[in-house]
């Protein structure tokens, strides 16, 4: 998994006035949990761009006053009107210790059922996985190519790697459901047409 480096400064004052002053200066107040004690720090808002505004999951390398921490994004708060980042919580991770993380799902493939007028219903757009930090994926792939109308894609059909899903085996990640625009299975029709054409050609040759 790709790691995004965020450089910040530890902060002593955590009161409302100090926090507001940081935000006014374009800084984001943050807290790092998971170590011996919480670490309060701040970093420029622009430093979070590649970590937050991305379709994939990433870990974070926090460089704070000469100290380096590996972490994952645990929680983030946005302003309800401006969508500016107000506060970020991180959770410290360690190389030899497994961590649980929410990973986005990339739906790939050209579903036969969708081509025939079905509708793809995405039940899960993210999945919880557990792995060592070095084995965490940026995303997991759900291949919908073989799904016909009425078919479901279970979590056991999703790409596997050096991680484990924290969901039951009967979890439905997505399914192709019928709709008003549904038509006959086009692939079967094509096969029938090809068979008919071959039969006619053979008959003509015999004549």
pLDDT tens profile 168-183: 999 999 999 987 665 6
Summary mean pLDDT of the chain = 88
Over residues 51-61, the mean pLDDT reads: 94
- Can you read off the two tokens belonging to residue 82? 């401006």
SS3 at position 207: coil
pLDDT tens profile 32-49: 999 989 999 999 999 999
**At 202, is the pLDDT very low, low, confident or very high (cuts 50, 70, 90)?**
very low
- The separation between the first and the last C-alpha atoms of the chain, rounded to the nearest angstrom, is 66
What is residue 168's predicted lDDT score, i.e. its pLDDT?
A: 96
pLDDT tens profile 147-176: 999 999 999 999 889 999 999 999 999 999
What is residue 189's predicted lDDT score, i.e. its pLDDT?
A: 45
Name the residue among 61, 63, 64, 62 with its Cα closest to residue 11.
Answer: 64
92 pairs with which residues across the strands?
A: 71
Please determine, for residue 3, whether its predicted confidence score (pLDDT) is greater than 90: yes
Over residues 181-207, the mean pLDDT reads: 48
Which residues does 108 contact at the CB level (< 8 Å), separation at least 6?
Answer: 141, 142, 143, 144, 145
pLDDT tens profile 63-121: 999 999 999 999 999 999 999 999 999 999 999 999 999 999 999 999 989 998 899 99
Name the residue among 178, 181, 198 with its Cα closest to residue 190.
Answer: 198
CA angle 148, 165, 94 (to 5 degrees): 150
What is residue 80's predicted lDDT score, i.e. its pLDDT?
A: 94
- Can you read off the two tokens belonging to residue 168? 């039951």
Name the residue among 46, 49, 45, 41 with its Cα closest to residue 69.
Answer: 41
Name the residue among 15, 28, 8 with its Cα closest to residue 84.
Answer: 28
What is residue 100's predicted lDDT score, i.e. its pLDDT?
A: 95
What is residue 12's predicted lDDT score, i.e. its pLDDT?
A: 81
Task: Tell which wins on pLDDT, 92 or 201.
Answer: 92
Please determine, for residue 188, whether its predicted confidence score (pLDDT) is greater than 80: no
Residue 132 class from Cβ within 10 Å (0-12 exposed, 13-18 middle, 19+ buried)?
middle
Please state the length of the chain.
Answer: 207
How much of the chain, in percent, has pLDDT values that exceed 90? 76
């Amino acid at each position: 998994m790709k790691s995004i480096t965020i450089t910040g400064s530890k902060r002593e004052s955590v009161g409302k006035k100090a926090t507001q002053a940081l935000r006014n200066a374009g800084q984001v107040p943050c807290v790092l949990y998971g170590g011996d004690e919480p670490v309060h720090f701040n970093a420029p808002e622009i430093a979070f761009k590649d970590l937050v505004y991305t379709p994939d999951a990433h870990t974070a390398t926090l460089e704070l006053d000469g100290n380096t921490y590996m972490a994952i994004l645990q929680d983030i708060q946005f302003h309800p009107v401006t969508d500016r980042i107000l506060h970020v919580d991180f959770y410290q991770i360690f190389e030899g210790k497994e961590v649980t993380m929410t990973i986005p799902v990339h739906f790939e493939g050209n579903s036969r059922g969708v081509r025939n007028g079905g509708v793809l219903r995405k039940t899960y757009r993210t999945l919880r996985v557990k792995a060592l930090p070095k084995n965490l994926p940026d995303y997991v792939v759900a291949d919908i190519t073989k799904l016909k109308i009425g078919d479901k894609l279970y979590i056991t059909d999703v790409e596997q790697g050096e991680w484990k899903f924290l969901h039951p085996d009967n979890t439905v990640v997505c399914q192709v459901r019928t709709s008003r625009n549904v038509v006959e299975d086009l692939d079967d029709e094509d096969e029938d047409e090809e068979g008919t054409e071959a039969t006619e050609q053979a008959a003509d040759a015999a004549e």
